[in-house]
Amino acid sequence: RYTGLIERYRDRLPVHDDTRIISLGEGNTPLIRLNNVPRHIGRDVELYVKFEGLNPTGSFKDRGMTMAVTKAVEEGSEAIICASTGNTSASAAAYAARAGITAFVVIPDGKIAMGKLAQAMMHGSVVIQIEGNFDDGMRLVKQVAESAPVTLVNSVNPFRLQGQKTAAFEIVEELGRAPDYHCLPVGNAGNITAHWIGYCELSASSGEHVTEACTFCKGHCRFAGGGVAGQRPKMVGYQASGSAPFLRGAMVDHPETVATAIRIGHPQSWDVAWKVQKESGGWFDECTDDEILAAQKLLAEKEGVFCEPASAASVAGALRDIQAGRIPEGSSVVCTLTGHGLKDPDAAIAQAGSAPLKVAAELDAVTRAILDN
Ligand SMILES: Cc1ncc(COP(=O)(O)O)c(/C=C/C(=O)C(=O)O)c1O
């Protein structure tokens, strides 16, 4: 029986035998091979999506939160706090409820997808909406956590990255090797960093650190050793054009994008993410909101996969790079879909195109609707 990622990867995570594990069965998400989309763009690539929207609270945050909350409880903490564009707050609220501790979540006023707000509220967290954006919230919670008795669980908490690195473990176990390219949407850049740490741990030929991106002292990491040195993906991060500090080479003070999850102008993992790009030979690129929404629709219509807008940036960017030949044909590519489409139904309906057909509740009306379409 699968009982969550800490149990599955105990020997590679900073937990003790007697650590009380806080879990909702996170991880072990589907790696779905796309068939129709490569045909649609006329390119021969081995293209997969890692559907992290199928975690317990509907986003990849659960991987980091099971670790961060488990360690917070182990340290005797009775409350956690985070700033969030939505998914971190949903996940923090759920894992705090699971652990029986309090969650304080700070979210931007108005710019949060309804599904995420519903989760934070339903799980009983204290929801604090500030008249500002995520970056304002991030600044405030870091200050609060310095004095108040709360544990900060944003991705500046290294236990978050330790949990999130396990997605790379699952991918390598399933493919039998690392993909040539791994594409992700980038906001704070914690997730792209965590994946790189995971790939480095697996592929280290010695037992030593092979990346400066690691956020832990040597004592915590369990570099497997015996890996195929150098067998690591190029890490490619995509941002929304209106919120793309990695493309501007500077912080963005007023980020704007329909992909509200990545509406982040001051990435917390700025320095380390640049190391990931350099070490992996990858790159950052940007996608317009239109490209993001088009990719979200393409995935849903052609492959039956419904992700939230921010997640679709990984596919929007990858498809553009594949068509441009920057990602060559024959490559193996994994795109991480970071959140489920149900998180943000308003965005989906707004651009779903054809409105529902309205017909009388009678057999001939429905039959006609079918025959006409
Ligand atoms: C769906 C989705 N896709 C991509 C990202 C970017 O990941 P990072 O680059 O590790 O920040 C987020 C991040 C959300 C928050 O930061 C939050 O919830 O506060 C997300 O929810």
As a whole number, mean pLDDT of residues 255-266 equals: 97
Q: Is 257 in the pocket of ligand 1 (CB under 6 A)?
A: no
**pLDDT for residue 221:** 65
Considering only residues 218 and 317, tell me which one the structure prediction assigns the higher pLDDT. Answer: 317
Of 336, 31, 325, 333, nearest in space to 180 by CA: 333
Cα dist from 360 to 161, 354, 357, 368, 372, whole Å: 53, 18, 10, 11, 15
User: Ligand 1 pocket check: which of 55, 85, 107, 117 to mutate, most ligand atoms within 8 Å of Cβ?
Assistant: 85
Q: Is 135 in the pocket of ligand 1 (CB under 6 A)?
A: no
Q: What confidence tier does 110 reach under pLDDT thresholds 50, 70, 90?
A: confident
Amino acid at 61: K
Q: Give the rounded distance of the alpha carbon of 81 from its chain centre.
A: 19
As a whole number, mean pLDDT of residues 249-273 equals: 97
Q: Does pLDDT of 356 surpass 80? A: yes
Q: Which atom of ligand 1 is nearest to the CA of 53?
A: 1
CA of 156 to the centre of ligand 1 (A): 13
Tens of pLDDT, residues 76-104: 999 999 999 999 999 999 999 999 999 99
CA of 246 to the centre of ligand 1 (A): 15
- As given in the structure block, the two tokens for residue 311 are 């997640």
As a whole number, mean pLDDT of residues 210-218 equals: 73
Q: Give the rounded distance of the alpha carbon of 250 from its chain centre.
A: 22
- As given in the structure block, the two tokens for residue 11 are 């020997």
Atom 6 (ligand 1) nearest CA: 187
Q: Does pLDDT of 218 surpass 70? A: no
**pLDDT for residue 353:** 74
Q: Does pLDDT of 228 surpass 80? A: no
Report the share of the chain in percent with pLDDT over 70.
Answer: 96
Q: Does pLDDT of 197 surpass 60? A: yes
Q: What is the rounded CA–CA span in Å between residue 179 and residue 62?
A: 23
Task: DSSP letter for 307, please.
Answer: B
Tens of pLDDT, residues 112-145: 999 999 999 999 999 999 999 999 999 999 999 9
| CA 198-199-204 angle, 5° bins | 105
User: Ligand 1 pocket check: which of 191, 196, 260 to mutate, most ligand atoms within 8 Å of Cβ?
Assistant: 191
CA of 191 to the centre of ligand 1 (A): 8
**pLDDT for residue 204:** 80
Q: Cβ neighbours of residue 361 under 8 Å, at least 6 residues apart?
A: none
**pLDDT for residue 317:** 98
Q: Is 190 in the pocket of ligand 1 (CB under 6 A)?
A: yes
Q: Is 164 in the pocket of ligand 1 (CB under 6 A)?
A: no
**pLDDT for residue 215:** 72
Q: What is the rounded CA–CA span in Å between residue 6 and residue 10?
A: 5
Report the share of the chain in percent with pLDDT over 90.
Answer: 87
CA of 303 to the centre of ligand 1 (A): 23
Q: Is 115 in the pocket of ligand 1 (CB under 6 A)?
A: no
CA of 177 to the centre of ligand 1 (A): 26
Amino acid at 280: S
Q: Please tell me the pTM assigned to this model.
A: 0.96
CA of 106 to the centre of ligand 1 (A): 14
As a whole number, mean pLDDT of residues 345-373 equals: 91
- Range name among 111-120, 241-250, 263-272, 350-359 with the lowest pLDDT average: 350-359
Q: Compute how many other C-beta atoms are within 10 angstroms of the C-beta atom of residue 154.
A: 25
ipTM of the complex in this document: 0.99
Tens of pLDDT, residues 11-61: 889 999 999 999 999 999 999 999 999 999 999 999 999 999 999 999 999
CA of 154 to the centre of ligand 1 (A): 10
Interior/surface letters 299-317, b for 16+ CB within 10 angstroms, e for the rest:
bbeebebbbbbbbbbbbbb
Q: Say if residues 99 and 75 touch (Cβ distance below 8 Å).
A: no
Average predicted confidence (pLDDT) for the chain: 94
Q: Is 84 in the pocket of ligand 1 (CB under 6 A)?
A: yes
Q: What is the rounded CA–CA span in Å between residue 160 and residue 66?
A: 8
Residue 360 three-state SS: coil
